[in-house]
Amino acid sequence: MDTTSTLPNFLGLHDSDFQFIKRYRVLLEAETGALAHDFYEYLLSHPVTAAVFRDFSRARLDALMQKQAEHISGLLASHLNKSWRESMRKIGALHHRLGIKPSWVAGAYILYWRHWQKVLQDQVPEAERNALRDALFRLLIGDLMIQLDGYARASRETDADRLALFDVLLGVLAVPQGAESQRPEALLLQQICEALPRKSASVRLAGYVVSGAMGDVLTLECIAGLPLPTLQLPKNTGDPCWEALECGQTVIRSVEDPHAPEWIKNLHNRVKEVGIFPFGEEDLRGAILIGAREKGYFRRVGSDYFHAFAHLGEMVLQLRNQSLRDPLTGLPNRTLFLDRLEIAQTQALRNERLLGVALLDLDGFKQVNDRLGHAAGDQLLLAVVQRLQGYLRAGDTLARMGGDEFGLLLPGLDNVDSLGVICERLLASIREALDIHGEAVSISGSLGITLYPLDDSNASMLIQHADMALYAAKDAGRDQFHLHTLALDEAVQAETEMRVMLQQALNDKRLILHYQPIVSSAGEVLSVEALIRLQHPEKGLLPPAAFFSALDHPSLARSIGRFVLEMALRQEEAWRREGLVLRISVNISARHLLDARFLDDLREILANHPDIPQNQLEIEVTESAPLIDMAGAQVLLAACHRMGVRVALDDFGTGNASLTYLQQLQAQSIKIDRSFVRDMINDPKDLAIVAAVITASRMLGLDVIAEGVETAEHAALLTKMGCSHLQGYYFSKPLPPEAIHAWSTRFHPILRVGDVSTFMDILPPILEGHTLRVQMFLRALRHENPFPAYTLEEDAEDYCHLGRWLRGEGARIFGQVPDFADLLTRHERMHQFARAAKSLLDAGDTEGAIHQGCLLDQESRLLLAELLDMTGQNRNRHPLLAGSLL
Ligand code: C2E
Ligand code: MG
Ligand code: MG
């Protein structure tokens, strides 16, 4: 309700008063020039007003004075009627918003009063003077009251505005932040922005910008109220957002400001001024944008609330920064990497340059972690990051995607060649040895990369493509980079199809095993290898080549492994019941072998078949498994060994494994890959490899199996070289299980049992080594040199030169000869003498120790003599038996 509507009545102003005033109006309006002058004096005589109006131009002051004069005329004619009251209230509200204090206004009224006093004094007849003065006084009081009413109304509006802001602030703080949201902290700012125009009648628009991924662009993250185009504000454009960020202070810009940027000018229909409230520092900055319905809004409501919002924004940025960075290296994490990738894609299109999107994986990191511990692993990661950062250009992004995998964004590339240079440089930087906890550690990296927009995919596909290329780089032998290509894409597609096919076949029980006999060089059939086949509804029986990679896929390796083990042992049992005793070899994928549950699987399946002795099962492990994780593979194979399960190293020679593997891994058999066997007759290099593997295996007491023996010539040559076992089409193709029994009864040895002399090529060096070791041992008793390895340990007799031969090839060739057992006993006794000698020596009884040494020497001579007899060599005057050793 208009509380001033009865004002003239209260003031006792009647129509007669207004008639009276009307009569003297012309007189009272005159001399406004003097009034203007007084007004001017008044403004400048008080320091506060003087400060406000100091910057006013002369013309603006003249206009102001003119307004005063007009106000007086209007007032005299007004009768304080409704329309006058309304406009005066608006003026009051405006004065309030412009920060003009009511007391200043009161001062102006005093000026009017004084001005009229003069007119009354000089020009109004005395008889009417008092009555007119009285009426004018009441008129002025009324007008002032109306204006103050406008002040009060505006102040109530301001209170309501402040209350709305307070409400928004309370609202976001009181509501628990949605835990379901991926980025709850972003939600907070968004809620503020959405609530502001909804709850405050004076706010038309609210949003926020944050400094972009590359630090030199501000990106509009959220806008509410009115739509704004996607804002991307590069640095140095003079935009008020950047201005606020750089000076760290609020910037208020009128939409009518000719210097305002277009995005602000375009708001002119709905917004009168825009306030920008910055927060954050350095590369972590943002600002809240508020568009107000009227001019002066920000001054009126004050900036406290907006500073509170900005403060929340700062906290949000800090939280976000924490959740977007890897705590160890401080690098962006996967989420931030994806964000930046999307921005980099836009920039690449705008700048018409290529963007390299790469994934980098450290080869051999796990081994360092396992061997030197996690602290060393962390140190290694930090050192690598530092190296990489040294080679990256400004604007490149390095992110830690997890574990030892890094993401890279390489924007602004001109061509594929420049990419090659950068990748080479990065890989070279990783290759250099690092000093970790005082130890020189060498690792390498594999890089997979794709180029946007040549590869015109979305962010997640780009990463997937880089990942495919990374796998290709690893497959090709690591320490290199691969570029993603369409062909690679198709290969991956084909792999997916293979996987689906294999899974389906496993579900539908369409996987079967065929068995291929393995023949000893003596012509016996001791074992078969189980080889998987897939029964395809249309294509018929498929060999593993049709689904090879799927066998080692994470989702399938273990279930296939368990299936094959169970099926093979069940078959073995069936044969056993028919009286056919065969050892069975089962191929185990690297992934299943290295799975933490592998040993449990093995135990569980063996327990299902208690009648089968453990050593009737051999697992075939390709050399890729130890290459992935040597320490893990060693532990596993040792555990299999303890369980009594045999181990064969399959496809030996294909995975660049060195012969030292044979020494590091507990295995009973080596399978020479068929690619070497196939070409050994034509290619001297292959023959040399085959010969070396055979010799090394035999000296270490391992069975050696040649795969892919297709002709009689191959079989003959391999047998001559001392190869103990043969497998191949020459003997039999892999057969369905029901055909094995018939095959084995039909099979008759094609080979003659090898002439003993063909086995004698490796014995001389072994005996020579043995004799030298005995001499060294005796000298060690006299402190002349250290004790040789494999002489004193509890099971040294199994691992010394002679022990390996006796347990391996010796047992195979001479195991049936009655005196062979004596040789084993003598050998064992030698080691007992050695251990006894050492403990006497340690107890200070040198003489006793030397005595044991003599017994050892004697035992060794007897052993050698008997062995020479057994192998048909003349023991008399044999150089190894000449002379006394002590
Ligand atoms: P592998 O373990 O090296 O098996 C020997 C392969 O050589 C078999 O191929 C066999 O049929 C083939 N072969 C044997 N003798 C000859 C010959 O004289 N000439 C030629 N040209 N080839 C011969 P297959 O059955 O196609 O198996 C291929 C590979 O698939 C196997 O190589 C093995 O790595 C894998 N594999 C087979 N069965 C399984 C299984 O049950 N599980 C897993 N994880 N892998 C398996
Ligand atoms: Mg195999
Ligand atoms: Mg093989």
Q: Which of 435, 436, 433, 329 is nearest to 376 (CA)?
A: 436
Per-residue pLDDT tens over the stretch 710-753:
999 999 899 888 899 999 999 999 999 999 999 988 887 655 54
Instruction: Specify the pLDDT at position 655.
Output: 64
Burial of 666: CB neighbours in 10 Å, binned 0-12, 13-18, 19+: middle
Asked if 390 and 442 sit in the same domain, the reply is: yes
* Domain end among 323, 352, 381: 323
On whether the CB atoms of residues 209 and 191 are closer than 8 A, the answer is no
- Closest-CA residue, ligand 1 atom 27, reads 544
Per-residue pLDDT tens over the stretch 18-50:
898 999 888 888 877 777 778 778 878 888 888
Indicate the top mutation candidate among 511, 531, 556 to test ligand 1's pocket, ranked by most ligand atoms within 8 A of CB.
Answer: 531
Instruction: Specify the pLDDT at position 34.
Output: 79
Residue 180 resides in a domain? no
Quote the ligand 3 centre to 529 CA distance (angstroms).
10
Residue 171 resides in a domain? no
Backbone angles phi, psi at 583, to 5 degrees: -75, 150
Quote the ligand 1 centre to 863 CA distance (angstroms).
43
Atom of ligand 1 nearest to the CA of 548: 30
CATH (domain of 594): 3.20.20.450
Residue 165 resides in a domain? no
Per-residue pLDDT tens over the stretch 221-260:
888 888 877 777 888 788 999 899 888 899 999 999 998 9
- Closest-CA residue, ligand 1 atom 17, reads 708
Instruction: Find the distance separating the first CA and the last CA of the chain, reported in whole Å.
Output: 129
Atom of ligand 1 nearest to the CA of 586: 41
Asked if 538 and 655 sit in the same domain, the reply is: yes
CA 731-734-737 angle, to 5 degrees, is: 115
Q: Side chain identity at 775, as an amino acid letter?
A: Q
Atom of ligand 1 nearest to the CA of 543: 26
- Bridge-based pairing of strands 217-224 and 232-234 is antiparallel
DSSP state of 483: E
Asked if 741 and 763 sit in the same domain, the reply is: no
DSSP state of 736: -
* Domain end among 423, 453, 484: 484
Per-residue pLDDT tens over the stretch 96-120:
877 788 888 888 888 888 888 888 8
Looking at residues 146-170, what average pLDDT do you find? 89
On whether the CB atoms of residues 468 and 489 are closer than 8 A, the answer is yes
CATH (domain of 68): 1.10.490.10
* 278 Ramachandran zone, left/alpha/beta (phi>0; psi -120 to 50): beta
Asked if 426 and 557 sit in the same domain, the reply is: no
Quote the ligand 2 centre to 660 CA distance (angstroms).
21
- Closest-CA residue, ligand 1 atom 7, reads 708
Torsion 844-849-851-854 (CA) sign: negative
- Closest-CA residue, ligand 1 atom 37, reads 531
What are the tokens at 723? 């190869």
Looking at residues 357-371, what average pLDDT do you find? 91
59 contact partners, CB below 8 Å, separation of at least 6: none
Asked if 288 and 354 sit in the same domain, the reply is: no
Q: How confident is the model at residue 530 (pLDDT cuts 50, 70, 90)?
A: very high
pLDDT over 80 (residue 16): yes
Looking at residues 749-774, what average pLDDT do you find? 74
* Domain end among 282, 300, 323: 323
Asked if 200 and 313 sit in the same domain, the reply is: yes
pLDDT above 70 coverage of the chain, percent: 95
Residue 113 resides in a domain? yes
Where in the sequence is the domain holding 776, given as residue range(s)? 759-881
Asked if 713 and 821 sit in the same domain, the reply is: no
pLDDT over 90 (residue 409): yes
On whether the CB atoms of residues 72 and 109 are closer than 8 A, the answer is no
Indicate the top mutation candidate among 553, 587, 725 to test ligand 1's pocket, ranked by most ligand atoms within 8 A of CB.
Answer: 587
pLDDT over 90 (residue 642): yes
CATH (domain of 407): 3.30.70.270
842 contact partners, CB below 8 Å, separation of at least 6: none
The ligand that comes nearest to the alpha carbon of residue 727 is 1
Quote the ligand 1 centre to 519 CA distance (angstroms).
16
DSSP string, 560-572: HHHHHHHHHHHHH
636 contact partners, CB below 8 Å, separation of at least 6: 593, 594, 598, 599
Sheet holding 284-292, edge to edge: 232-234, 217-224, 203-211, 284-292, 273-281, 251-254
737-746 and 557-577 helices, crossing angle to 10°: 50
Q: Rounded to whole angstroms, what are the CA distances from 385 to 71, 332, 396, 398?
A: 75, 12, 13, 8
CATH (domain of 250): 3.30.450.40
Asked if 616 and 644 sit in the same domain, the reply is: yes
Quote the ligand 2 centre to 728 CA distance (angstroms).
12
- What residues pair up with 705 in beta bridges, in sequence order? 671, 725
- Closest-CA residue, ligand 1 atom 33, reads 587
Indicate the top mutation candidate among 618, 705, 707 to test ligand 1's pocket, ranked by most ligand atoms within 8 A of CB.
Answer: 707
Ligand 1 contacts (CB < 6 A) are 516, 530-532, 543-545, 551, 564, 587, 589, 620, 650-651, 674, 707-710, 727-729, 734
CA distance 696 to 718: 14
Asked if 846 and 719 sit in the same domain, the reply is: no
Residues with CB under 5 A from ligand 3 (ion): 650-651, 707
Residue 140 resides in a domain? yes
Residue 167 resides in a domain? no
Quickly count: other Cβ atoms within 10 Å of residue 414's Cβ. 9
The ligand that comes nearest to the alpha carbon of residue 729 is 1
Q: How confident is the model at residue 521 (pLDDT cuts 50, 70, 90)?
A: confident
Asked if 786 and 747 sit in the same domain, the reply is: no
Residue 260 resides in a domain? yes
CA distance 593 to 588: 6
Q: Which of 630, 676, 634 is nearest to 651 (CA)?
A: 676
Count of structural domains within the chain? 5
Asked if 272 and 146 sit in the same domain, the reply is: no
CA distance 450 to 359: 9
CA distance 655 to 623: 6
15-23 and 126-174 helices, crossing angle to 10°: 110
Residues with CB under 5 A from ligand 2 (ion): 587, 620, 650
Which residue has better confidence, 402 or 754? 402
Quote the ligand 2 centre to 648 CA distance (angstroms).
8
DSSP state of 755: P
Quote the ligand 1 centre to 492 CA distance (angstroms).
23
- Closest-CA residue, ligand 1 atom 29, reads 544
pLDDT over 70 (residue 215): no
- What residues pair up with 233 in beta bridges, in sequence order? 218
Quote the ligand 2 centre to 750 CA distance (angstroms).
23
Quote the ligand 2 centre to 621 CA distance (angstroms).
7
Residue 845 resides in a domain? yes
Quote the ligand 3 centre to 223 CA distance (angstroms).
64
Asked if 230 and 342 sit in the same domain, the reply is: no
